[in-house]
A and B are shown apart, each in its own frame.
Chain A
Amino acid sequence: MDWVNAVVQGTLLGGLYALFAAGLSLIFGVMRLVNIAHGDLIVLAAYLGLSVTTILGLHPLMALIVVVPVMAMIGYVLQRGILNHTLGKDILPPLLVTFGLSVIIQNSLLEIYSADPQKINAGALETASVSVGGLSLGVLPVLTFGIAVAVIASLQWMFYRTALGRAFRATSDNQEIAQLMGLNRRHIFGLAMALALGVTAIAGIMLGIRTSFDPSIGGGRLIFGFEAVIIGGLGNLWGTLIGGVILGVAQTVGAKIDPGWQLLSGHIVFLIILAIRPNGLFPRINE
């Protein structure tokens, strides 16, 4: 039963990792941009959530109503103001610029919020649990997983059923020809980044409710996000969810064997999958 418990908890944890990864997957899919600052943007969202809950006295889930649009706006401005200028044939400039952004965000957060670990207070939600067939499931992890599934499903629907999604796919296929169709790629990219950071806002707040955070933890979240994306296969959103789950399960099962192995076992499983299937389990982009 302990092992079943580890797998179930890992699956739920995978929901959080899928939320970390969904934004990365989206922007890589649309504009082939690898965003090194993604983890720090998650932490930024967590801090914004913290400020909104403490200043306005809102419940963290209500804070989403404020933080999601704010992060989306930051995303659009960031893309139009900076990142669009780095995109081109050379893949190095976006890497360097987002690395720089990562440093700037981390240090600004340090300056404003200090290095003390913080936590978003969600009251009873944090400790509430339900008993299912002998397993005790935390309401928060179940909720996070549900949100992750809902987010992935909506992104999938948006990508394949709406005019905006069509524009995303067309621009991803061929930027010049998309431009001929009247799509301004700078604007389309801005919208993609806005959407990605909107999802990141949800990820940040769920993270902030679940664990304590400080300005330096962005890098670790970025790695989990990357691993989930790569395991699932580039450009496949449902794959990203499965990738998150595999990573989560690997970590909790690893921790079950030896508490010190939690992170290591996640990375090892990632490396094994990368060695066997370099394109991930369910790749959609063939390059």
Chain B
Amino acid sequence: MTNTALKLNMLDAFYGDFQALYGVDLQVAQGEVLAIIGANGAGKTTLMRSISGLTQNKSEMVNYCGTNIGALRADQVAEKGIALVPEGRQLFPSLSVEENLMIGGQVGRKGPWSLDAVFKLFPILKERRAQQSTSLSGGQQQMVAIGRALMANPDLILFDEISLGLAPIIIKDIYAALPGIIGEGMSALIVEQDVTKALSVSQRFYCLQEGRVSLSGASATVAREDISRAYFGVV
């Protein structure tokens, strides 16, 4: 087994006053792609918020490369090398496409990703670089959101519902591009409601149900019935 990048230890987390996660244990190895699946309200977004520092928890509950980061603010977590592609893309409307990308690189971490590298990955963004980010199509906005996260040269990248609200053909394109995006040594956590898509790009998966891990295992070999049971909670 390779080195552990991210480790969650009995993570309890809250969404406002409501407890959304109960004792979640989870591990991501370096270079591994992990899928988190689960129904609406299972706690997937709270999990993402807890890892990225948008929700602060007890320090030892989130461990990244041997350091406890559970109590750090999001900007401090970003400096450690964790980037989030947030649900609903959440681009900065008053920034142009290029500025949205540049602000992603403001963390100042070294690595392969630069403005040129992102434009090479998504050439359409180069044409649209001076445009307001909100004037782009949904798929192009998602490219900007992914590019913005990559600009930070993260070691671990979190994708939260990247297919939400996009046309199926665009989703196909984005998932086709994922292996190229998640480069050498980079770990990724993919949160997705589309189970088939999530399993196809990941090595392992965790299924959440009502804030608890209901099933985990290898993505390639898991039986469909087991997933249905873990996903919906029906026997």
Interface residues of A (CB under 8 A from B): 163, 166-167, 169-170, 172-174, 176-185
Which residues of B have CB within 8 Å of A166?
95, 99, 102-103, 106
| Beta-carbon contact of B92 and A174 below 8 Å | yes
| Beta-carbon contact of B78 and A167 below 8 Å | no
Q: A169-B99, A180-B78 are in contact. List 12 more A-B contacts (CB 8 A).
A: A166-B106, A169-B92, A170-B95, A172-B94, A174-B92, A176-B74, A177-B90, A180-B52, A181-B148, A182-B79, A182-B108, A184-B73
In angstroms, how far is the closest chain A Cβ from the Cβ of B132? 12
Which residues of A have CB within 8 Å of B106?
163, 166-167, 181-183
**What mask results when residues 52 to 89 of chain B are scored 1 for a CB within 8 Å of chain A, else 0?**
11100000000000000000011100110001101000
| Beta-carbon contact of B95 and A182 below 8 Å | no
In the bound assembly, the distance between CA atoms of A176 and B94 in angstroms comes to 15
Nearest B residue to A183 via CB reads B75
How many A-B residue contacts, CB cutoff 8 Å? 66
| Beta-carbon contact of A173 and B93 below 8 Å | yes
- Total interface residues on B, CB under 8 Å, equals 25
Nearest A residue to B54 via CB reads A176
Which residues of B have CB within 8 Å of A174?
90, 92
Contact of A169 among B78, B94, B148 (CB under 8 A): B94
| Beta-carbon contact of A173 and B74 below 8 Å | no
| Beta-carbon contact of A181 and B95 below 8 Å | no
Query: Could you list some 8 contacts between A and B, CB below 8 A?
Result: A166-B103, A169-B95, A170-B103, A179-B78, A180-B75, A182-B106, A184-B73, A184-B75
In angstroms, how far is the closest chain B Cβ from the Cβ of A199? 21
In the bound assembly, the distance between CA atoms of A181 and B53 in angstroms comes to 12
Interface residues of B (CB under 8 A from A): 52-54, 73-75, 78-79, 83-84, 86, 90, 92-95, 99, 102-104, 106-108, 148, 152
Which residues of A have CB within 8 Å of B148?
181
In the bound assembly, the distance between CA atoms of A178 and B106 in angstroms comes to 10
In the bound assembly, the distance between CA atoms of A169 and B54 in angstroms comes to 20
In angstroms, how far is the closest chain B Cβ from the Cβ of A162? 11
Nearest B residue to A171 via CB reads B92
Known: A173-B92, A176-B54. A181 touches B73 (CB 8 A): no
Which of B86, B90, B106 has the largest number of chain A CB atoms within 10 A?
B106
Known: A163-B106, A167-B106, A182-B79. A177 touches B86 (CB 8 A): yes
In angstroms, how far is the closest chain B Cβ from the Cβ of A19? 25
Which residues of A have CB within 8 Å of B95?
166, 169-170, 173
Which residues of B have CB within 8 Å of A170?
92, 94-95, 103
In angstroms, how far is the closest chain B Cβ from the Cβ of A220? 33
Which residues of B have CB within 8 Å of A179?
53-54, 73-75, 78
| Beta-carbon contact of A181 and B104 below 8 Å | yes
Known: A167-B106, A180-B54, A181-B152. A173 touches B94 (CB 8 A): yes
Nearest B residue to A286 via CB reads B93
| Beta-carbon contact of B75 and A167 below 8 Å | no
Which residues of B have CB within 8 Å of A177?
86, 90, 92
Nearest A residue to B105 via CB reads A181
Which of A174, A182, A183, A185 has the largest number of chain B CB atoms within 10 A?
A182
